[in-house]
Structure 1
Amino acid sequence: MKRGPNLQHQAKKRFGQNFLQDQGVINAIVRAVHPQEGDNLVEIGPGQGAITGLLLEHCPNLQVIELDKDLIPGLLAQFAKFRGFKIHQTDALNFDFSSLSSVEHPLRIVGNLPYNISTPLIFHLLSFREQVRDMHFMLQKEVVERLAASPGEKNYGRLSIMAQYFCQVENLFEVPPECFIPAPKVDSAIVRLVPHKELPVKAHNMARFETLVKTAFAQRRKTLRNSLKSFEIDFASIDVKIDLAQRAENLSLEQYVNLSNALWPEE
């Protein structure tokens, strides 16, 4: 069964809009989220409300963030009967998600994220990780594979390491293009991100750690010894316990943290 989109609203390329229409996929997403009545649930990019309605049936206090003002009247017409439904007409990239959270009610975030802003938006959301219980996103399949990749895999990179530093990452299932109107030119997938309550490994200097990872993958075909030359560090004088003849994709998250802590032992 498919839920048809509102034909009066044309998808806008500048917003990266592809409206989900397949009811089977919608049901699978909501089952994965498993919303409950008392959840502090936030949906990013509800579009025409394909997922919104089913979320509201389980969690009547749902807040949504939608940038396209032309979609607001349709969302209000469909869901104004839910007294706990609230729309924030704003850009999620600039939104202060901590304003929606509390100690008693951490955020549960759901979204069909536009492909053109998915990576910066995930980094933005990770800055609020202490107020977040979990996140479920529809993303380009390649991005989900990068988020969940392991060392040695072709998709393993900066996004993999930074996401896994802060979260448990689970690639749930794929969604083919024909489930959307208009159909995108790429496959999609659903990912679950659960922020760690306690970090499995901790960098002494977070800014330096982020720079280390970014620099290592900037020239990923080079060995670490060559790609990290810009730091002007005498690696021979430091007991890093890592073979610097390896390439960036061969090191695990723990090894990157250990290398960062060896190079910059203090905050």
Structure 2
Amino acid sequence: MTEHYQHRARKRFGQNFLHDAGVIHRILRAIYARPTERLLEIGPGQGALTEGLLASGAHLDVVELDLDLIPLLKHKFDSNPNFTLHQGDALKFDFASLNPPPHSLRVVGNLPYNISTPLIFHLLEHASLIRDMHFMLQKEVVERLAATPGGGDWGRLSIMVQYHCQVEHLFNVGSGAFKPAPKVDSAIVRLVPHETLPHPAKDHRQLERVVREAFNQRRKTLRNTLKALLSSDAIEAANVDGSLRPEQLDLAAFVRLADKLCEQTSAE
């Protein structure tokens, strides 16, 4: 890379550039891109993963917010006909504009910690277009995504993502794999949207509402934390024990509560 294209990580974009060749290879192996596929990389940075993804022969769209990185990415990859660069904010990007067939788009990203959760929810709005997502995230975020009921990591993020996707915590990545080294460890997660939802709710918004209320005061029992939405009788009628705390309930139980709220709202 010429001196002209050197780039320093910018704190306001939460940039930490991946440079460990072993980790890069391991991520590329987990993704296993094929020549006929359509991939989207969010925040390619200096192109550590971009190079390997393009080497697969797949078509790669990348979305990069940092204007200073655009010349570097163009210099490195513009000569490849499978490379398309979009300058902009991934949180506002219209993924449908790529016009992929249903369940075909493969999304990849080393996501800045400050936008990872809103970006995952933004992508889930387009879950019907997506085949899978591989993200590098803060390790504790991956632990919450992949959590199971009963533990402290089980909460709103686990439930709402698992409603839409199968979640797999693939492997952890130490801070030394990045420049500058972040203060926390990272992990790679694979999210695969369900083609058929295992526990479909009558109204997805009511599920969000119930989950948000339930975990607002996670130490309290459901009877207390949901009292503004559902009576004790309504909770019992949903076949849920109101004396439990929210972290003790599985996804199916939250869907039953949301469906009970739907019935109640439509009867009013």
Cα distance in 1 for residues equivalent to 2:15 and 2:118: 17
- The residue aligned with 1:141 is 139
Q: Map 1:100-249; keep pairs closer than 5 Å.
A: 100-103=98-101, 106-231=104-229, 233-236=230-233, 239-249=237-247
Query: Does structure 1 retain, via aligned residues, the 8 Å contact 2:18–2:178?
Result: yes
Q: 1:180-234: per-residue Cα shift (whole Å, max 9, x none)?
A: 0000000000000000000001111211111000110011011111111222x33
Query: Does structure 2 retain, via aligned residues, the 8 Å contact 1:60–1:83?
Result: no
Q: In structure 1, which of residues 85, 89, 92 is the aligned counterpart of residue 87 of structure 2?
A: 89
Q: 1:10-34: per-residue Cα shift (whole Å, max 9, x none)?
A: 1100000000000000001011001
Instruction: Name the amino acid aligned to 1:8.
Output: Q
SS for the counterpart of 1:230 is: coil
Q: 1:211-263: per-residue Cα shift (whole Å, max 9, x none)?
A: 000110011011111111222x3332561211111111000001111122223
SS for the counterpart of 2:190 is: strand
Instruction: Name the amino acid aligned to 1:70.
Output: D
Cα distance in 2 for residues equivalent to 1:33 and 1:13: 28
SS for the counterpart of 1:192 is: strand
Query: Does structure 2 retain, via aligned residues, the 8 Å contact 1:40–1:101?
Result: no
Instruction: Name the amino acid aligned to 2:59.
Output: N
Query: Does structure 1 retain, via aligned residues, the 8 Å contact 2:102–2:128?
Result: no
Query: Does structure 2 retain, via aligned residues, the 8 Å contact 1:15–1:114?
Result: yes
State the Cα distance separating 1:7 from its structure 2 match. Answer: 8.2
- The residue aligned with 1:55 is 53
State the TM-score, normalized to the length of structure 2.
0.94
Unaligned runs of 5+ in 1: none
Query: Does structure 1 retain, via aligned residues, the 8 Å contact 2:41–2:63?
Result: yes
State the Cα distance separating 1:42 from its structure 2 match. Answer: 0.5
Cα distance in 1 for residues equivalent to 2:108 and 2:80: 18
SS for the counterpart of 2:61 is: strand
Runs of 4+ in 1 over 6 A off after TM superposition: none
Instruction: Name the amino acid aligned to 1:224.
Output: L
Query: Does structure 2 retain, via aligned residues, the 8 Å contact 1:39–1:105?
Result: no
Instruction: Name the amino acid aligned to 1:152.
Output: G
Cα distance in 2 for residues equivalent to 1:219 and 1:59: 49
Q: In structure 1, which of residues 245, 248, 251 is the aligned counterpart of residue 249 of structure 2?
A: 251
Q: 1:17-71: per-residue Cα shift (whole Å, max 9, x none)?
A: 0000000000010110010001110100000000000110003421100000100
